[in-house]
Amino acid sequence: MPRLQLERLLHSQGFGSRKECRVLIRRGRVAIAGETVDDPFREIEADGLVFAVDGEDWIWQAKAYLMLNKPAGYECSHQPKHHASVYALLPPPLNGRGVQSLGRLDEDTTGLLLFSDDGQFIHAISSGKRKVPKIYRVTAKHAVDDGQIAALLAGVQLADEPAPLAAAGCERVGEREILLTVNEGRYHQVKRMVAAAGNRVEALCRVAVGGLALPADLAPGKWRWLDADDLDRLRSPAAAS
């Protein structure tokens, strides 16, 4: 059970340098259980702690694990070129503690995007070796026919790839809609696979990573913490959606 001085505790949660956190506390902007704590050196039990900064509640997290429902029009980059950054959708303390997205979605792709500041976790989930399945709802320009589905499942050859890439799953859910599961995370992979199969992606939404599905009640642009069950689901086989 970590006991930390309040100043260090806030610093660990992304609220600024230790000096900035000390100022925040001394100015009476930090409360615990409804009581303002203005002593930066008060020792606090961090595990399970709920604290408020400027009236907003935070739960102490040793490491940050979160999901965002990415809207279209945002780039997965700290230095976006043409659009806003997905990091602008997260509150400052999360950026302050250095969360990074697990892989990237294109600017026009929507849906489930995960973030963490746990380097080992980021590597484990995003590394190609782990083969974590990602499910995309693809809206195609033309009706998706059986031949295209068969081609996606059998494997399509993409330029710059040594061997054909096969979808791990492909289910038609509408005349122009499929749920496509891929285990890799190559550049524009879904768009290029669908094009190679003879169609074209008009809209792309990631609906699941591993067994973790995008919650129906998480509005575009909103984020939430992942709990222990979410983390288990992430490591389990692909979610049916």
Catalytic residue among 106, 108, 118, 145: 106
Pick the closer one to ligand URA by CB: 66 or 158: 158
Pick the closer one to ligand URA by CB: 32 or 203: 203
Q: How far is the CB of 81 from ligand URA (least distance, A)?
A: 16
Q: How far is the CB of 192 from ligand URA (least distance, A)?
A: 6
Give the footprint of ligand URA on this chain (CB under 6 A): 105-106, 109, 188-191, 204
Q: How far is the CB of 10 from ligand URA (least distance, A)?
A: 35
Q: Measured between alpha carbons, how far is 189 from 206 in angstroms, rounded to an integer?
A: 12
Pick the closer one to ligand URA by CB: 7 or 75: 75
Pick the closer one to ligand URA by CB: 51 or 136: 136
Q: How far is the CB of 186 from ligand URA (least distance, A)?
A: 8
Active site residue 106: yes
Kindly list the catalytic residues: 106
